[in-house]
Amino acid sequence: MTTVGIDRVVYRQSRARRSTLVALLSTVVFAGVVLVAVSSAPGWPRVRDSFFNLRIGWDSLPALLSGLWLNIRVLIVCQILVLILGLTLAALRTLRGPVWFPLRALATGYVDLFRGLPLLICLYLVGFGLPGLRLTGLPTSPVLLGGLALVLVYSAYVAEVLRAGIESVHPSQFAAARSLGLSYRKTMRLVVLPQATRRVTPALLNDFVALQKDCGLISVLGAVDAVRAAQIESATTYNFTPYVVAGLLFVALAIPSARLADWVARRSATRQGAL
């Protein structure tokens, strides 16, 4: 490298070091100002005691964690069922031929209904309405019924996301596959769907993060999950810290999913050479 090149590298490095130092300093100053402003505010001790009480938070942790474990189990089962049902619905909507008209119409109607229905109403109808029929053989567990309501609503969202993915695959891909002699179904299965699912993976994972939070709604049916546990702890201590802790637990649960979404998107991009 010539002296000109070396000189420029040295200059750029010194600029980079300077930028890091400035960013660090300004962050420290900013954090300090916020900390002083908040802690010197007149209401701060009361806010701290009712939302950030360390002792109450620590004491409520075991109950919250065992509730969260229920949420995680519900989440995993629901995720699998939502994916299966969502894929089935999306596939039904791509069927061609007059014979399939009723199934296509059914799938469309299903998506319209459950995408528009507020989750809370669905939870009440399934969770309180179904057991109210007193039919034999019907489960009465709030966990099962709550999970069922979640699957009904979320599979409609996932079906729409998948369908959008299918429609985003350019018609020329379809023409190329048909030109090779592939049947409609093989074209869908081998050419269109693989591209569609790869494209919508970030959107799907986004829906699953939303499902993660909404798993907490089964508490309205009486299931003792993290939200219900927080409610009980809060009621016995006259303090809101258990809610804050439960909220933070849900946030902590969502972060790995967000990173997973980033990683999946990056991996499929690098594999196809787009990066």
Partner 1 sequence: MTAPEPLLQVRGLVKAYHDRTVLAGVDLDVAEHEVVVLIGASGSGKSTLLRCIDLLEEIDDGRILLGGRDISDPRIDAEQARQAIGMVFQSFNLFPHMTALGNVALAPRVVHGRSRAEAEQRAHDLLARVGLESMANAYPDKLSGGQQQRVAIARALAYEPKLLLLDEITSALDPELVGEVLTLVGELATAGATIMMATHEMAFARDVADTVCFLDGGQIVESGSAADVLDSPRGERTQRFLQRFTAGR
Cα distance between residue 231 and residue 253, in whole Å = 19
Given the complex with partner 1, which of 144 and 177 has the nearer CB atom?
Answer: 177
Given the complex with partner 1, which of 39 and 173 has the nearer CB atom?
Answer: 173
List the x/- string, 214-233, binding to partner 1 by CB under 8 A. --------------------
Cα distance between residue 191 and residue 199, in whole Å = 13
Determine the residue type at 81: L
Given the complex with partner 1, which of 63 and 188 has the nearer CB atom?
Answer: 188
Residue with tokens 């007149």: 42
Cα distance between residue 274 and residue 247, in whole Å = 38
Choices 39-47, 72-80, 155-163, 266-274 (CB under 8 A): range interacting with partner 1: 266-274
**Taking the complex as a whole, how short is the minimal distance between the CB of residue 165 and partner 1, in angstroms?**
13
Choices 73-81, 168-176, 211-219, 256-264 (CB under 8 A): range interacting with partner 1: 168-176
Q: Does 173 bind partner 1 (CB under 8 A)?
A: yes
Identify whether the C-beta of residue 88 lies closer than 8 Å to the C-beta of residue 110: no
What are the structure tokens assigned to 264, written together?
């999946």
Given the complex with partner 1, which of 126 and 192 has the nearer CB atom?
Answer: 192
216 DSSP assignment? G
Cα distance between residue 264 and residue 172, in whole Å = 26
Q: Does 180 bind partner 1 (CB under 8 A)?
A: yes
Cα distance between residue 244 and residue 57, in whole Å = 8
Which residues lie near partner 1 (CB under 8 A)?
172-173, 175-183, 186, 190-191, 194-195, 198, 271-274
